[in-house]
Amino acid sequence: MDQEARRRRLTDRLPELGAEAFLVTRLPNVRYLSGFTGSNGTLVLTPGGGRFLTDSRYGGQSAREVPDLERSVSGAPLVPTVVAAAEALGVRRLAFEVDGLTYRSYRDLHEAGIELIPSSSEVEALRWVKDPEEVALIGAAQAIADEAFGVITGKLVPGVTERATALELDMTMRGLGAEALAFDTIVAFGEGAAEPHHHPTNRALRPGDVVKMDFGCVVGGYHSDMTRTVAFDSIDDTLRTVYDVVRRAQQAGVDAVHAGATAGDVDRASREVVDAAGFGEAFGHGLGHGVGLEIHEGPALRPGGTDVLPRGAVVTVEPGVYLEGVGGVRIEDMVEVTDEGCRVMAGTTKDLLVLEA
């Protein structure tokens, strides 16, 4: 991955921001711009290069991962290392990430004579567009999730609990090569599926339950995210109808995705299907979000959203209908945005599966 080109795109923004350098403290952004994968890294970037700052735990690692920037490895706290880097680079006006710097650090840097200029989502906006290597890593994480889904559906038997199923799903993804989980796995049986972000409990699986599973993993720092809802032994007429509505709404959302589409328009295409079926009040969340180095990043597909989808973005399309006391259905795919439309990254069927008890 060409981190140098990424840094140039960021520092090209400095004149408009009125800054001489960019202070990057959010770790996903540090990784995106430098390749560093550790837990303590900071960048001070100028048009001519910049400095990478870390502590002694990561001396060797940073030498391997960040070979093309000057490095400062010390045990000093953030503020003095940033001040020293700014002095060495001959800069005083630093743009900083408003979501990445604590008030204490801001105050101390200001008192040390550093002029701080707030910026919002500058690096995150660059990250919306994935390069081919990033798409390949997201695809690898999705392939593991697809395979894990095939494994877990074969292990759903009467009496197994949500927690045990979630653990089995997590272990399966790990066993297939995932380096981490993308987020806490959601497994919901029956009435629990009516909660969009249900936490698995000791509730046991029974014939007639729907089973909603929202899960993903990480490969090379990049995440996958998918949701499937299946029926165990049978499904009542109401939830069968809901499944059909969500399936059609999800396809409508996928069909609306293309480079240049507005996030709100894509959300509307899916939501109109749910509204027309009379379940609009049961679909309360946004349609989707970007996925990459973080599980939730831009662009955000939501009602009235103004984000414009760029070619190369990877976003989720995940409508759901949730009926309290009855159950719920969500179907979610990641899609890669193209000029002509999008490419669905999941290989798992979205047709209703009714598993034998």
State pLDDT tens for residues 135-179.
999 999 999 999 999 999 999 999 999 999 999 999 999 999 999
Rounded Cα–Cα distance for residues 244 and 136 (Å): 31
| pLDDT tens-digit series, residues 255-290 | 999 999 999 999 999 999 999 999 999 999 999 999
Structural contact between residues 212 and 227, judged by C-beta atoms closer than 8 angstroms: yes
Torsion, CA 33, CA 2, CA 300, CA 116, rounded to 10:
30
Number of Cβ atoms within 10 Å of the Cβ of 79: 18
User: Is it the case that residue 357 has pLDDT exceeding 90?
Assistant: no
| pLDDT tens-digit series, residues 304-346 | 999 999 999 999 999 999 999 999 999 999 999 999 999 999 9
User: Around 14, how many Cα atoms within 13 Å sit in the side-chain half-sphere?
Assistant: 24
Question: Please, where in the chain does CATH 3.40.350.10 lie?
Answer: 3-127
Q: Is 275 exposed, middle or buried (0-12, 13-18, 19+ CB in 10 A)?
A: middle
Structural contact between residues 287 and 319, judged by C-beta atoms closer than 8 angstroms: yes
b/e burial code for range 140-173 (CB count within 10 A of at least 16 → b):
bbbbbbbbbbeebbeebeeebbbebbbebbbebb
47: closest CA among 10, 95, 72, 85? Answer: 10
Provide the token pair at 265. 């328009």
Chain-centroid distance of CA 269 in Å reads 22
Structural contact between residues 320 and 239, judged by C-beta atoms closer than 8 angstroms: no
Number of Cβ atoms within 10 Å of the Cβ of 185: 23
Provide the token pair at 307. 């984000």
| pLDDT tens-digit series, residues 21-33 | 999 999 999 999 9
User: Is it the case that residue 197 has pLDDT exceeding 90?
Assistant: yes
Question: Please, where in the chain does CATH 3.90.230.10 lie?
Answer: 132-355
Q: What is the pLDDT of residue 76?
A: 86
User: Is it the case that residue 1 has pLDDT exceeding 90?
Assistant: no
Provide the token pair at 196. 């969009």
Q: What is the pLDDT of residue 127?
A: 98
Rounded Cα–Cα distance for residues 83 and 109 (Å): 7
85 Cβ contact list (under 8 Å, min separation 6) = 44, 51, 53, 72
137: closest CA among 296, 334, 5? Answer: 334
| pLDDT tens-digit series, residues 45-91 | 999 999 999 999 999 999 999 999 999 999 889 999 999 999 999 99
Q: 253: pLDDT confidence band, cut at 50, 70 and 90?
A: very high
Q: Are strands 314-317 and 333-337 parallel, antiparallel or unpaired?
A: antiparallel
User: Which residues partner with 74 through β-bridges?
Assistant: none
Q: 208: pLDDT confidence band, cut at 50, 70 and 90?
A: very high
Rounded Cα–Cα distance for residues 24 and 11 (Å): 11
Q: Which architecture does CATH list for 132-355?
A: Alpha-Beta Complex (3.90)
Helix 27-34 with 3-11: angle, nearest 10 deg: 120
What's the Cα-to-Cα distance from 241 to each of 187, 246, 274, 278, 279, rounded to whole Å? 21, 9, 11, 11, 11
Q: Which architecture does CATH list for 3-127?
A: 3-Layer(aba) Sandwich (3.40)
User: Around 49, how many Cα atoms within 13 Å sit in the side-chain half-sphere?
Assistant: 12
181: closest CA among 166, 196, 195, 192? Answer: 166
Rounded Cα–Cα distance for residues 230 and 214 (Å): 12
